[in-house]
Amino acid sequence: MHKELGIGFGAALIIFLAVSGYNIGPLILLAVVAGALYYLMRVKGLVKNFAVSEGGGGNPISFTDVGGQAAAIKELSEALDFIKNYRFIRHLGIRPIKGILLTGPPGTGKTMLARAAAGYTDAIFASASGSEFVEMYAGVGAQRVRKLFQSAREEAQKATKSNAIVFIDEIDVLGGRRGKVTNHLEYDQTLNQLLVEMDGIKVDDAVNLLVIAATNRADLLDPALLRPGRFDRQVRVELPDRDGRLEIIRLHTRNKPLAKDVDLAAIARETFGFSGAHLESLANEAAILAMREHLEVISHRHFVESVEKVLLGNRLDRRPTQEELQRVAVHETGHALLSESARPGSVTALTVTPRGNALGYFRQKTEDDKYLYTQEQLENQLSVLLAGAVAEEIALGSRSTGATNDFDQAVGIAETIVRAGMSELGVVSVEELPDDIRHQVISRVLKVQEERVKEYLATRRGLLVRVADRVLSEERLSGEEFRALLQESA
């Protein structure tokens, strides 16, 4: 459409200039050159070549090179085992996995995992980044997608490999919600082409093709990408916890001479919020400092200095203060204590770990899937939700905004209690209750539980603080470790 308009306009201009007695020779030449360029870009896809390599690249990476990502590696390799066993899959008529989406913050090892996946499945690795598909010219992006898939297939056949992995980094750039991200049609065409390619993958293709994509903004993706038969596996790649950071620092100091005084565990403790990439750069900076001092080995102080350097250099924004982390530990411990009191054995994990927007979390066994909840169960759920804020108040003297989400959920449960006729009002139609009455009765339901939680935690303040301190220093307690602490203190 734009093309026709442009040509029409250009022609009109040339005729106008010719009529006005202007020398149009150079202009016509310009038009021809522009046309040729356009043809090249449009039809030849800008002569773009993608990186295609065998078994994850010249510098092969294996899962053992990726530290602190045990859970992600387990999930990923389970999915990959499907591909390795494709004969069975075919035989049993199972729908093959076509796409795996790696989601998580930058520098956590998503690209490494994709490369390792290629090594693991003995696959050709063809990679591109979402931004490489974005062009000014309509159709170029779509063409590049087609070419990427095509070259993955061809290279695999050339290398007589039965597997090929197409890796698309920053998929959010091209896979954003259609018609929403920009007013640019280009994105839509590119995304459509990707969907077409994925839908075209068949069980009996000569080359088994798997698409792995990475993003740190899964929330931006077009839902069409997440449908079954497309990216139907999602693997979260989180920032590493303390033990994970230790593993990663060990990996990146494998080839470096360390002085006797180096305490990598201490460095791991001091680097809350660091990604794998930050830790790699930390180890590198430490070595550079040692080199500047003409030393043969890297000392502990070099690492300590580098922590500061990496922090400054990377503007690790939103790095929480020690006080904030302590508050989070207290908050989560509050949840956990009430959960354990209502349902012994229910706490499965308790952490201060950056995850999404939260700085910590506590996990409990879900109650077996229920159709019905008794009043007691609902009230227990309420008490667990309220315990975070109450714990902050009891241990630290004040509450924080960290409980907002808890309260939203608590209000929902309180409403259910009223709706189910379990409140002081008995059986009522919640819709027909005047606003102020509804508000009052919900507040009272919450208040009763809040008082109960306050009493419970106030008599256990010492325990609350002790457990929170331990969570803070360990960053993570398992359910068993948590219960052992309770036993000790009993």
List residues with catalytic annotation.
332
Q: Which of 214, 166, 169 is nearest to 53 (CA)?
A: 166
- Decide: helix, strand or coil at residue 299: coil
CB atoms within 10 A of CB 280: 19
- Per CB under 6 A, the list member of 56, 68, 402, 479 interacting with ligand ADP is 68
Report the distance separating Cα 305 and Cα 310, nearest Å: 9
Q: At residue 462, what is the residue type?
A: G
Report the distance separating Cα 387 and Cα 458, nearest Å: 11
56 near ligand ADP, rule: CB under 6 A: no
Which segment (103-111, 300-308, 335-343, 455-463) binds ligand ADP by CB under 6 A? 103-111
Which of Zn ion, ligand ADP, Mg ion, none binds 276 (CB below 5-8 Å, type-dependent)? ligand ADP
Report the distance separating Cα 144 and Cα 127, nearest Å: 12
Which segment (7-15, 107-115, 260-268, 367-375) binds ligand ADP by CB under 6 A? 107-115
Site map 260..299 versus ligand ADP, x via CB under 6 A: ----------------xx--x-------------------
215 near Mg ion, rule: CB under 5 A: no
By the 8 A CB rule, do 400 and 394 touch? no
Nearer to ligand ADP, 277 or 328 (CB): 277
Which of Zn ion, ligand ADP, Mg ion, none binds 406 (CB below 5-8 Å, type-dependent)? Zn ion
406 near Zn ion, rule: CB under 5 A: yes
360 near Zn ion, rule: CB under 5 A: no
Nearer to ligand ADP, 106 or 179 (CB): 106
Per-residue tokens: 8: 């029409």
108 near Mg ion, rule: CB under 5 A: no
Nearer to Zn ion, 168 or 403 (CB): 403
Which of Mg ion, ligand ADP, Zn ion, none binds 208 (CB below 5-8 Å, type-dependent)? none
Contacts of 155 (CB under 8 A, 6+ apart): 52, 54, 124, 126, 164
Q: Which of 370, 407, 358 is nearest to 385 (CA)?
A: 407
Report the distance separating Cα 306 and Cα 426, nearest Å: 64
Kindly state the number of chain residues that form the binding site for Mg ion, as judged by CB under 5 A: 1
Dihedral of CA 394/398/404/405: which sign? negative
Which segment (176-184, 289-297, 346-354, 399-407) binds Zn ion by CB under 5 A? 399-407
Per-residue tokens: 358: 């939260």
Report the distance separating Cα 103 and Cα 108, nearest Å: 10
- Per CB under 5 A, the list member of 388, 450, 471, 486 interacting with Zn ion is 388
- Per CB under 6 A, the list member of 52, 66, 213, 422 interacting with ligand ADP is 66
DSSP 181: S
Q: At residue 280, what is the residue type?
A: E
Q: Which of residues 108-137 bind ligand ADP (CB under 6 A)?
A: 108-112
Task: Tell me which residues touch ligand ADP (CB under 6 A).
Answer: 66-69, 106-112, 214, 248, 251, 276-277, 280
Site residues, Mg ion (CB under 5 A): 111
